[in-house]
Amino acid sequence: MKRIIFSVLLLGTVIAVTSYPFKSCSKSTDCGVGACCTAAPLKMKTCEPIGNEGDFCITEDHQRYYGGLYFLRCPCTEGLQCVAVDGPFPGGKGSFLNAKCRKVSTSAANVPVDI
């Protein structure tokens, strides 16, 4: 009976550890394609997905890249631009905390396009 209980607990631990949604990293190359390594004060270094359209991001004027680490969030995927929008975060319009990845117009000198 002890072996069965031990086996069930061990299996539960293995499942919990392998299904944990965060992957730790020390640099972006640890994360693989479509992800980058992010860090912030009091935050563990973790792999996060590259920003797709509508995802939150950090505007380029606040984005920092330190030896393979990005500050707080990954940059937007190619063809998208991080644009500050109105939102509930501190600072209101123009706040780097409520910016989102948006499509850029190639015909209008890279002006973001809202869809």
Q: Which percentage of the chain shows pLDDT scores above 70?
A: 63
Domains of the chain by range and CATH? 23-103 (2.10.80.10)
Q: Which residues pair with 39 in a beta bridge?
A: 71
φ/ψ (deg, to 5) at 35: -145, 165
Q: Which pLDDT score is estimated for 49?
A: 93
Token pair for 2:
């002890």
Q: Assign 16 a pLDDT band (cuts: 50, 70, 90).
A: very low
Residue range 40-64, pLDDT digits in tens: 887 788 999 999 999 988 887 777 7
Cα(35)–Cα(22) distance, rounded to whole angstroms?
A: 12
Residue range 89-106, pLDDT digits in tens: 555 555 667 789 999 776
Q: Which pLDDT score is estimated for 23?
A: 84
Q: Which pLDDT score is estimated for 85?
A: 72
